[in-house]
């Protein structure tokens, strides 16, 4: 049994009952009190249907009002929520339902068909048809035990079967606290949520809202115009995005600058091109580059804007109270290892490794001031003639070439070198694109062993739901396009 804290939503209702907790799609809003009433009623309804402490349920939902309500309901019951990616196929869903020992599925009109296809044995409820209960007699959780498992999210897993990352209440709590210790906290903070809530990046904002007692505005999907409108007209102070979203926000903005009340553009999902940082700076957008993953309950390292140029490409330092080391000599590239109370204790139904630090599977190095530079995924490294080649480095050169919008690099078998890099580009104008020019550009910028052996154009790169390039699927994606 771990440290116990009062249920965080009850606590906010005690402190700020009438404060706006959520602004939802279709112009709905919920105060903390209203959110509590709904969540408790759904929780009581769950209990009446046999869902109890320790029961595992799955949520297959969109970014909709029911998502935060059901999340809190689960905590009132003491159940465990599996957050299903709503872009999965029926087969993938079936795998996760089975792997996580799910007893009930909650879904919506749009997704009920895929859910039904995924399972015929597990009961499925449409949240629209679910009867909450207002019975006072149903006893609900009053204290959250920080050591208890609250959620499971499947790693987007670029290879092999996805694994369910278990998050305790404490993981989510400390993640929110570590972010507040880093970014500061003001009572008029307002976060905009435009990432999927089934992912840790979006989910963590639901947690921040209730732990900080601040307003969170939820968008169904990322939409640049709506994001800007929320920032300019509705007092949004914090937004969390990935690079491609930031680029679209900059395009949409034109020559305007961000208002001064806007305090933080939290940027995840890999290093950001210098051009984007410059454009952000010119537009008064304070960009905080981060590093994190499902296993760390969202960001675990952050670079503040004052270092954006001085430490270009860095993800900063591990938040307090987290630790981060690189498994290599000082300044050398090695696997990134992390530790702290926001780091998951392990995967569901897999042996818990006996180790102090979690091995992230990412490669990086720290400079002499301790700033982290993420180099690449361990699994994506191309080994060519005994040299390590990091696809991200080549991609970064490629995207700096005019007209190249996105780039993905992976290895192919090579008789002479073992493996050799091949590039896949999304370009502005395929008709005028000349791959010889790009190869020549690479020859100027990169050591010979890193030169792409071939370049393909492609209309879009395969990405997972976190928007990370699935490099191992680049060849497959090209084949599919050519069919």
Of the pair 338, 392, the CB lying nearest a copy of itself is at 338
Footprint of a copy of itself on residues 152-211 (CB under 8 A)? Answer: 170, 177, 180-181, 184-187, 211
CB of 337 to a copy of itself, least distance (A): 13
User: What are the tokens at 405?
Assistant: 């919008």
CB of 26 to a copy of itself, least distance (A): 30
Does the protein bind a copy of itself through residue 355 (CB under 8 A)? no
CB of 5 to a copy of itself, least distance (A): 4
Q: Among the candidate windows 307-315, 320-328, 437-445, 465-473, which touches a copy of itself by CB under 8 A?
A: 320-328
Q: Among the candidate windows 2-10, 72-80, 114-122, 452-460, which touches a copy of itself by CB under 8 A?
A: 2-10
**Burial status of residue 25 (CB atoms within 10 A of its CB: 0-12, 13-18, 19 or more):** middle
Q: Exactly one of 323, 400, 457, 464 binds a copy of itself (CB under 8 A); which one? A: 323
What is residue 197's DSSP assignment? Answer: T
Of the pair 163, 263, the CB lying nearest a copy of itself is at 263
Q: Exactly one of 25, 273, 341, 346 binds a copy of itself (CB under 8 A); which one? A: 341
Q: Which residues contact residue 16 at a Cβ distance below 8 angstroms, ignoring those fewer than 6 apart?
A: 32, 213
- Distances in Å between the Cα of 339 and the Cα atoms of 109, 129, 218, 323, 413 are 40, 42, 30, 5, 36
CB of 327 to a copy of itself, least distance (A): 17
Q: Which residues contact residue 440 at a Cβ distance below 8 angstroms, ignoring those fewer than 6 apart?
A: none
Contact (Cβ atoms closer than 8 angstroms) between residue 400 and residue 448: no
Of the pair 211, 458, the CB lying nearest a copy of itself is at 211
Q: Exactly one of 43, 45, 132, 213 binds a copy of itself (CB under 8 A); which one? A: 213
d(C-alpha 296, C-alpha 290), whole Å: 12
Contact (Cβ atoms closer than 8 angstroms) between residue 20 and residue 31: yes
CB of 18 to a copy of itself, least distance (A): 11
d(C-alpha 289, C-alpha 283), whole Å: 17
CB of 395 to a copy of itself, least distance (A): 30
Contacts of the segment 27-32: beta carbons below 8 A, 24+ positions apart: 28/65, 30/65, 32/210, 32/213
Does the protein bind a copy of itself through residue 262 (CB under 8 A)? no
User: What are the tokens at 415?
Assistant: 């008789």
Helix (H) or strand (E) run with residue 474 in it: helix 474-482
CB of 414 to a copy of itself, least distance (A): 42
Site size toward a copy of itself, by CB under 8 A: 31
Does the protein bind a copy of itself through residue 2 (CB under 8 A)? yes
Q: Exactly one of 6, 123, 157, 259 binds a copy of itself (CB under 8 A); which one? A: 6
d(C-alpha 412, C-alpha 80), whole Å: 42
**Which of 219, 164, 173, 217 is closest to 196 using CA atoms?**
219
CB of 286 to a copy of itself, least distance (A): 13
Does the protein bind a copy of itself through residue 292 (CB under 8 A)? no
Q: Is the peptide bond before 220 cis (omega within 30 degrees of 0)?
A: no
Range list of H helices, 108-168: 112-118
CB of 263 to a copy of itself, least distance (A): 10
CB of 184 to a copy of itself, least distance (A): 5
Of the pair 38, 208, the CB lying nearest a copy of itself is at 208
d(C-alpha 149, C-alpha 449), whole Å: 47
Of the pair 75, 247, the CB lying nearest a copy of itself is at 75
Does the protein bind a copy of itself through residue 321 (CB under 8 A)? yes
Query: Would you mind telling me the total number of residues written for the chain in this entry?
Result: 483
Of the pair 13, 422, the CB lying nearest a copy of itself is at 13
Q: Exactly one of 76, 212, 288, 417 binds a copy of itself (CB under 8 A); which one? A: 212
d(C-alpha 127, C-alpha 132), whole Å: 10
Binding site for a copy of itself (CB under 8 A): 2-6, 8, 11-12, 14-15, 146, 170, 177, 180-181, 184-187, 211-213, 317-318, 320-323, 340-341, 370
């Amino acid at each position: 049994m771990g440290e116990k804290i009062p249920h965080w939503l009850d606590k906010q209702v005690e402190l700020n009952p009438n404060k706006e907790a959520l602004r939802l799609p279709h112009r709905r809003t919920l105060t903390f009190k209203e959110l509590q009433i709904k969540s408790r009623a759904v929780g009581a309804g769950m209990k009446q249907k046999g869902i109890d402490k320790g029961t595992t349920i799955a949520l297959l939902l969109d970014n909709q009002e029911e998502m935060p309500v059901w999340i809190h309901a689960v905590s009132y019951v003491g159940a465990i929520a599996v957050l299903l990616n709503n872009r999965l196929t029926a087969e993938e869903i079936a795998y996760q339902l089975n792997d996580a020992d799910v007893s009930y599925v909650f879904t919506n009109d749009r997704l009920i068909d895929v859910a039904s296809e995924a399972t015929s044995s597990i009961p499925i409820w449409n949240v629209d048809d679910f009867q909450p209960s207002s019975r006072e007699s149903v006893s609900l959780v009053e204290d959250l035990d920080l050591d208890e498992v609250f959620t499971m999210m499947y790693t987007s897993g670029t290879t092999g079967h996805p694994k369910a990352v278990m998050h305790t209440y404490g993981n989510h709590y400390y993640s929110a606290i570590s972010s507040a210790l880093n970014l500061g906290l003001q009572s008029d903070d307002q976060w905009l949520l435009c990432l999927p809530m089934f992912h840790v990046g979006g989910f963590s904002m639901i947690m921040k809202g209730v732990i900080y007692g601040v307003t969170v505005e939820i968008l169904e999907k990322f939409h640049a115009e709506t994001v800007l409108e929320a920032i300019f007209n509705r007092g949004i102070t914090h937004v969390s995005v990935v690079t491609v979203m930031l680029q679209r926000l900059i395009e949409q903005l034109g020559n305007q600058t961000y208002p001064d009340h806007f305090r933080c553009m939290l940027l995840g999902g890999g290093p950001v091109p210098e051009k984007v940082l410059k454009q952000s700076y010119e537009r008064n957008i304070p960009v905080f580059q981060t590093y994190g993953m499902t296993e760390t309950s969202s960001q675990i390292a952050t670079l503040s804007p004052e270092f954006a140029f001085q430490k270009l490409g860095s993800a900063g330092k591990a938040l307090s109270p987290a630790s981060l080391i690189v498994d290599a000599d000082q300044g050398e590239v090695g696997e990134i290892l992390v530790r702290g109370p926001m780091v998951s204790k392990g995967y569901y139904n897999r042996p818990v490794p006996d180790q102090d630090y979690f091995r992230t599977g990412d490669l990086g190095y720290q400079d002499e001031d301790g700033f982290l530079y993420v180099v690449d995924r361990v699994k994506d490294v191309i080994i060519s003639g005994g040299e390590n080649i990091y696809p991200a480095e080549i991609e970064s050169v490629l995207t700096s070439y005019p007209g190249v919008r996105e780039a993905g690099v992976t290895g192919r078998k090579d008789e002479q070198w073992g493996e050799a890099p091949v590039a896949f580009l999304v370009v502005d104008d395929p008709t005028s694109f000349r791959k010889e020019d790009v190869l020549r550009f690479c020859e100027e910028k990169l050591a010979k062993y890193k030169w792409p052996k071939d370049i393909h154009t492609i209309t879009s790169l395969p990405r997972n739901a976190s928007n990370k390039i699935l490099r191992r699927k680049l060849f497959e994606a090209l084949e599919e396009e050519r069919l």
